[in-house]
């Protein structure tokens, strides 16, 4: 999974540096094998299951800046999006550069489960997530064609000016532009079902993975095979 993201980033040709943030020397070794840089490990306090992104991102940019490496902007490419191609990244970068007055760009797709049909539990009761329409008709009682278009972010990519981290303490800022992923570019692999779906899409040629030209990363004790 890491290899696909690193390969897509390198092949896009838009980055000065491709850097992986991790607290694991094991994953750092994999990242370096496929051509990324891991200049230092992420501190444990920024590597928990619920650690916000701003923690490790600010730490990374601060340390790089202290070493004389400053970047005008950055992109976060999460390894759970294997179908994000180099062309996807190039398309997003072109859109970001063409837009003025924004803090960041974030990948989105039209949501499949509409929030107008969602509920929040309050003990043994529940209330609709979205408030009533101006007409008084509840969103949850409306047909799908009558609901407003809503988009959900996916994990494939985001691009932002570095100033939003230093000045606003945010990874996105206040003014965001959408980047609409196409096909399976935004598919996020988080569960066994997602993994099975990804394999099926590849096997049936419905989705394309970035090309990885390096030999597979070898675990200690393994040997290369042709």
Higher-pLDDT residue of 213, 81:
81
Give the separation between CA 82 and CA 3, rounded to whole angstroms.
9
What are the structural domains, with CATH classification, of the chain?
Answer: 2-109+153-203 (3.90.550.10), 112-149 (no CATH)
d(CA 62, CA 166): 9
Q: Over 90: is that where the pLDDT of 226 sits? A: no
- Per residue in 42-76, pLDDT (tens digit) is 999 998 888 899 999 999 999 999 999 999 999 99
Residues 8-54: pLDDT tens digits?
A: 999 999 999 999 999 999 999 999 999 999 999 999 999 888 889 99
> What's the pLDDT score for residue 57?
96
Give the separation between CA 158 and CA 145, rounded to whole angstroms.
30
Considering only CA atoms, give the Rg of the chain: 20
Tell me the average pLDDT across 187-207.
Answer: 96
Which percentage of the chain shows pLDDT scores above 90? 82
Residue 152 has phi, psi (to 5 degrees) of: -115, 140
Range 93-108 average pLDDT: 98
pLDDT band at 134 (very low <50, low <70, confident <90, very high): low
């Amino acid at each position: 999974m890491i290899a696909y993201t690193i390969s897509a980033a390198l092949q896009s040709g838009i980055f000065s540096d491709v850097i992986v943030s991790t607290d694991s020397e094991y994953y750092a070794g994999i990242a370096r094998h496929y051509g990324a840089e891991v200049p230092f490990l992420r501190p444990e306090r920024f590597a928990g299951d619920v650690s916000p992104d701003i923690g490790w991102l600010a730490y990374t940019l601060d340390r790089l800046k202290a070493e004389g490496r400053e970047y005008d902007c950055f992109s976060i490419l999460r390894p759970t999006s294997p179908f994000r191609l180099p062309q996807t990244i190039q398309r997003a970068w072109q859109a970001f550069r063409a837009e003025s007055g924004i803090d960041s760009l974030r990948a989105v797709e039209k949501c499949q489960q509409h929030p107008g049909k969602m509920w929040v539990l309050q003990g043994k009761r529940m209330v609709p997530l979205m408030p009533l329409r101006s007409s008084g008709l509840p969103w949850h009682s409306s047909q799908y064609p009558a609901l407003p278009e809503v988009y959900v972010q996916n994990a494939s990519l985001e691009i932002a000016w570095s100033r939003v981290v230093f000045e606003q303490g945010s990874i996105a800022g206040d003014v965001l532009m959408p980047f609409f992923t196409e096909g399976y570019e935004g598919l996020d692999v988080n569960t066994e079902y997602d993994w099975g779906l990804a394999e099926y899409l590849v096997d049936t040629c419905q989705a394309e993975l970035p090309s990885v030209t390096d030999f597979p990363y070898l675990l200690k004790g393994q040997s290369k095979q042709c």
